[in-house]
Amino acid sequence: MSDNPEVRGLADLATDLAGTHRAADAGDRGVDPAVVESDLRTLTRDGHVILPDLLGAAELERIRGEALALLGPPGRNSFEGHRTQRLYSTLTKTRVTDRLVDHPRVLALLDRLLLPGYLLSQLQVINILPGENAQLLHPDDGFYPVPRPRRALSAATIWAIDHFTEDNGATVVVPGSHRWGDGRVPTDADPRCPSVMPAGSCVLFLGTLWHGGGANDSGSARLAVTAQYCEPWLRTQEAFTLSTPRDVARAVSPEIRRMLGYGIYPPFIGMVDGMHPERLLEGPPALP
Ligand SMILES: O=C(O)CCC(=O)C(=O)O
């Protein structure tokens, strides 16, 4: 807790009481502010933005090799995709996607979109196999019962590990649909846009944007990694604090650790037994 614990009114609680584990101001994470501004302008206007060519060939090969080996059988329903393989809880199974989760270009945008202390809500590998149908269009934060139109409560990245093409399942977005109110759903009159981009790029979109995996009418699979992030006061889709062993929480970067729940949304949301959750990782492992 802070050096000055006097609380005279609710306004005093608005400051961070996280003491030694207080989050530092991240600036633009080393990214040129003009680039962040430009990404943000596109994102605000269209609801989505493509961040091109962020990963090199060697890294893509490493991700592809490890991810494909970890994937299992296809999905259990048409939303997961009967011809789509998904790997959940990816951080507990491999380190190769870490750099995607805390990529500076992504975090610089999230820092401007979401409140400090935002969380990782979902991390999946998604491999859309040939013959898969288009996924039902949906907004990712539609399951939070907060009326629209409104600010997005979450944002998602979908990283192209293979090239995303017109016909291999590139994520389809409905530009401008992030501004729609409750009750409006996409019709044939609404333009849809496949996120065509070279491998190593990612599309970042707001949680309010209608989108879905595309149909794969090509002869080869479309491999992707998706990381989703949400406001720090919301429940995450995957309960990472339950699913991530403590040795994994110690192994990831401080940013990812914070996004897994080892952080505080000021003044004390996310605390454990009255203390900052990072303290769980200090000292020798606790006895069972
Ligand atoms: O794989 C994609 O391109 C999109 C997947 C998606 O939106 C989802 O599964 O919720």
Query: What does the pLDDT look like over 60-118, one tens digit per residue?
Result: 999 999 999 999 999 999 999 999 999 999 999 999 999 999 999 999 999 999 999 99
229 CA distance to ligand 1 middle (Å)? 14
- Site residues for ligand 1, CB cut-off 6 Å: 126, 135, 158, 171, 211-213, 224
Residues paired with residue 156 on neighbouring β-strands, in sequence order: 205, 228
Question: What's the confidence (pLDDT) of residue 1?
Answer: 46
User: Which of 211, 222, 223 is the pocket-test mutation for ligand 1 (most atoms within 8 Å of CB)?
Assistant: 211
The residue nearest atom 8 of ligand 1, judged by CA position, is 212
Q: Enter the DSSP assignment of 95.
A: S
User: Which of 76, 158, 168, 202 is the pocket-test mutation for ligand 1 (most atoms within 8 Å of CB)?
Assistant: 158
286 CA distance to ligand 1 middle (Å)? 39
Spatial contact of 128 and 75, defined as CB atoms under 8 Å apart: no
31 CA distance to ligand 1 middle (Å)? 27
Q: Which atom of ligand 1 is closest in space to residue 172's alpha carbon?
A: 3
Report percent pLDDT > 90 for the chain.
87
Q: Given strand 48-51, what is the order of strands in its sheet?
A: 48-51, 202-206, 154-160, 222-230, 119-128, 84-87
Q: How far apart are CA 9 and CA 18, in angstroms?
A: 18
Mean pLDDT of 239-246: 96
Q: Is the pLDDT of residue 250 over 80?
A: yes
User: What integer best gives the mean pLDDT of the chain?
Assistant: 93
Q: Give the strand pairing for 172-173 and 202-206.
A: unpaired
Residues paired with residue 118 on neighbouring β-strands, in sequence order: none
pLDDT band for position 12 (50/70/90)? confident
What separation, in Å, do the N-terminal and C-terminal C-alpha atoms of the chain show? 27
pLDDT digits (tens, 9 = 90+) for 105-118: 999 999 999 999 99
pLDDT band for position 7 (50/70/90)? confident
The residue nearest atom 2 of ligand 1, judged by CA position, is 213
pLDDT band for position 17 (50/70/90)? low
3-state percent helix, strand, coil for the chain, nearest multiple of 5: 30, 20, 55
110 CA distance to ligand 1 middle (Å)? 19
Question: What's the confidence (pLDDT) of residue 173?
Answer: 98
User: Which of 164, 171, 202 is the pocket-test mutation for ligand 1 (most atoms within 8 Å of CB)?
Assistant: 171
